[in-house]
Structure 1
C-alpha cells in the first residue's frame, strides 16, 4: 500500500508539471473548439438569416452531443485506458473543426459541429478520472483547477481569435485558425501526458453499465453536485451567448473585434479556478462552493447597468464565480465517488454540457422577449437554485473517511 501511495503524483514535482501542462493543453483545445463560435453568433444570424436562438445551435448542438456521448465514452475508458481515448478525442475534434469551415450551408455546418461535440466527448470526464487516480489527494484540487484553467484559456483565446479574424477576414478563417491551434495542442498532449500508472483495465459488460451509473445517484451528495453542473453552466453560457447581441447594438455599437476582446476576461477564470481549487482543498469544499455561487449573483446584477465598464466588470465577476464553483464541484466528484470515477465524472459533465445546450438556447427566448434584463432574470433563477443546493451540500455528512488526507469526501 505504501508503494502504491508513493507512485501518486505530488505537487511541485517534474511529473506534476508535465501532467498539468499536458492537461492544460487538452482543456485549451476542447474549449477553443467548442466555444470559439460564441462571439460569431451574431455573424451566423446575419449570414444564414437565423434568429439569435437558432444561431446558438452552433454551440448548443455540439454540447448536447458531447453530453450524451460522455455516458458511453467514459465506460470505454475503463477498458481501453485513459490516455488513448483522450488523444483520439483531441485529434478528431481538431480535424472536424477544420472540415466545418469549408461547408457552405447552415445545416451542413451544424452537422459538422454536432460531430465535433461527439468527438470532443473523449476528453472531459476521462481527464477528471485520470487526475483522481494519479494525483495525490493534496494535489488534486490544484491540478483540477489547472485543467479547468486550460478550459478557460482555450475559451478565451478561441473567442478572441474568432472575433478579431472575423473583422479582418471572415469567420471561416477565424474558426479554421482555431482548428489549427487545436491540432497543435493535441500533439503536445499526446507527447507530454505520462501514461496511467494506477489505472487497472476492466472487462466491459454493457449490461452492468446502468448499474454503475445508478450507484452514484444513491449517494446523498453526488446527485446534487450533478444538478449544480447543469444550473451553473446553463446560466454562465447564457451570459456569453447573448452579451454580444446586446453590445453590437446601440448605444454601444461595438465591433466584432471588440466583442471578441471582451472574452479576455476568461483570464480571470484561469486564475480563479486554480486559486479556488487550492482554497477548497484547504478549507473544505462545503465552505467554499456556496460563496463562489453567491458571487455570481452579485456579478449578474452589475451587468444591468448601462455603463460599459460596469457591464464588463460584472462579466468578470460572473466568470470568476463560475470557474471557481466549477473547480470546487468537479474536484468534489472525484473525492466523493469511491469507485467508477469515470462514470461519476461523465454524469457530472453530461449535465454540465446539457446545461450549456438546453439552458443556453433557452436563454435566447428570454433575450428575444425581454432583452438583457430577461437574461439576467433567467441567470438569477438558475444561480438562486444552485445557491440553495450548495447550502444543502454544506450540511452533507462526509463519507466514512478512507485512506486519504482529504477530509471533504
Structure 2
C-alpha cells in the first residue's frame, strides 16, 4: 500500500476527534440557549392569539428564567451524581417534547407551565458543561473550550429568536417551535456520538453534596465569581431590554423589524468569547476580568452617541465584552472548584439569573427618571461593582 505513514494517519485521526469534541461542546451551548429566549420574537403574536397584555405575555420569558434560577443549585449536584454527559444529554432530549408541547398550548397559563418546565431542564446543561469542560481539559485548552460553549450559547440564543420569528411570519408560531424541537433532537444525536465520556469519578452521597455546597459557600472566591456573574447578566439584560425603547424614540424612530435587525450584531460579537484564554495569558486572571469589563464600559459610552451606526457599534462592543466576562467567569468556576464542580456551577447559574431578573426590572426606574442616559449610568455602576468584585478573584485560586 502506498505511501501514507501510520503516524500521519494517527495524527489526522486525533485532529478529527478534537474537531468533533469542539463541535459537540459548541452544540451544548447552542442547545442550552436555543429555546431560552426563542419566544421573544413571537410575543406580539402570542398576545394577540391569547388576548393577553404585553406585560402578561412577557411572563413567557420570565417563567423560564425563574425556573433556571430556582433549579440550578439542585441541577449541579445531580450532574455530579449521575454523570455530566448523561445529565446534559438527558436535558437536551427533555427539551424536544417540551418544545413540541408549546405548540399544543391553548392559553397563556398552559404556555407558562410548559416554559417553566423547560427552565427546570436547562440548568443541567449549564452546570454540567462547566464541570465537564474543567474536568476534561486544563489551561488554555479549557479556556478555549469554555469560549466555544459560550459562543454556542450566543448562536443558540440568536437562532432560537430567528427561527421562531421567521417561521411565525411565514407559517405560524407553532411551526417555529416545531422546528426548534427538531433542531434540539439533531443536537442531541451529535452530542451522543461526538462528546467523549466523562473524566473523573463523580462524587457520591448526599452528605458529600451538602459538604461540598458548604465548602463552596465558604470559599470567598466562589462567592465572588457568583456575585460577578450577577453583575454581568444584570448589565446585559438592562442594556438589551431598554435599548429598544431608545431606538424606537427620536432621533432614530426605528420600527420593530428595524430594531430586530440591529441585534444581528449579537452572534458576531459573541465570537470574542474564545479569546478569553489569550486575555488570561496576557493580563492574568484579574487583569483579564478588568479588560473584559473595560470593553463593556467602552460599549456603553459609544451607546450614548446620537447616531445609529454608533449605537450598533456600541451594542456590538458591549456584547463582545459581556461574552468575554461570561467565558472568563465560567472558566474560573471550573478552576476554583476542584470537587463538586456541578454544585459550584449550579450556584453560579443561580446567581447569574438572579442578576438577570433584577436587570429586567430596576432599569425601568432609571428610564422613567432619566431616560436612556439613566440606564447607561446604572449599567456602568453595575460594571464598576463587577470590577471591585474581581479583585477577590486571584490568579491562583484555592480549591473549594
Structure 1 length-normalised TM: 0.85
In 2, Cα distance between equivalents of 1:227 and 1:88:
29
Compared CA separation, residues 221 and 330, structure 1 to 2 (3 A): same
Compared CA separation, residues 288 and 37, structure 1 to 2 (3 A): same
In 1, Cα distance between equivalents of 2:182 and 2:304:
37
Residue deviations 1:279-304 (CA, integer Å, cap 9, x gap): 32454221111121122122123223
What residue number does 1:106 align with?
Answer: 108
Compared CA separation, residues 375 and 39, structure 1 to 2 (3 A): farther
Unaligned stretches of 5+ in structure 1?
Answer: 1-11, 403-408
Shift of 1:79: 1.9
What residue number does 2:126 align with?
Answer: 124
In 1, Cα distance between equivalents of 2:223 and 2:122:
24
> Matched residue of 1:315: which SS?
helix
CA contact (8 A) 1:42 1:244 kept: no
Residue deviations 1:248-295 (CA, integer Å, cap 9, x gap): 566645454443333321223431100123332454221111121122
Unaligned stretches of 5+ in structure 2?
Answer: 1-13
Compared CA separation, residues 168 and 108, structure 1 to 2 (3 A): same
What residue number does 1:393 align with?
Answer: 392
CA contact (8 A) 1:86 1:123 kept: yes
What residue number does 1:200 align with?
Answer: 201
Compared CA separation, residues 58 and 251, structure 1 to 2 (3 A): farther
In 2, Cα distance between equivalents of 1:301 and 1:94:
41
Shift of 1:31: 0.8
> Matched residue of 1:37: which SS?
helix
Moved more, 217-226 or 148-157: 217-226
Moved more, 81-90 or 232-241: 232-241
2:176 is aligned with 1:178: no
Structure 2 length-normalised TM: 0.87
2:320 is aligned with 1:320: yes
Shift of 1:349: 1.4
Q: Which has the larger radius of gyration?
A: 2
What residue number does 1:138 align with?
Answer: 140
Compared CA separation, residues 370 and 168, structure 1 to 2 (3 A): farther
2:49 is aligned with 1:50: no
> Matched residue of 1:199: which SS?
coil
CA contact (8 A) 1:29 1:90 kept: yes
4+ runs of 1 displaced by more than 6 Å? Answer: none
Residue deviations 1:65-99 (CA, integer Å, cap 9, x gap): 11221211221222211111101101112321221
Compared CA separation, residues 231 and 157, structure 1 to 2 (3 A): same
Superposition CA RMSD, Å? 2.7
CA contact (8 A) 2:220 2:392 kept: no
Q: Number of residues paired by the alignment?
A: 386
What residue number does 1:223 align with?
Answer: 223
CA contact (8 A) 1:231 1:386 kept: yes
In 2, Cα distance between equivalents of 1:238 and 1:42:
21
> Matched residue of 2:219: which SS?
coil
In 1, Cα distance between equivalents of 2:135 and 2:166:
40
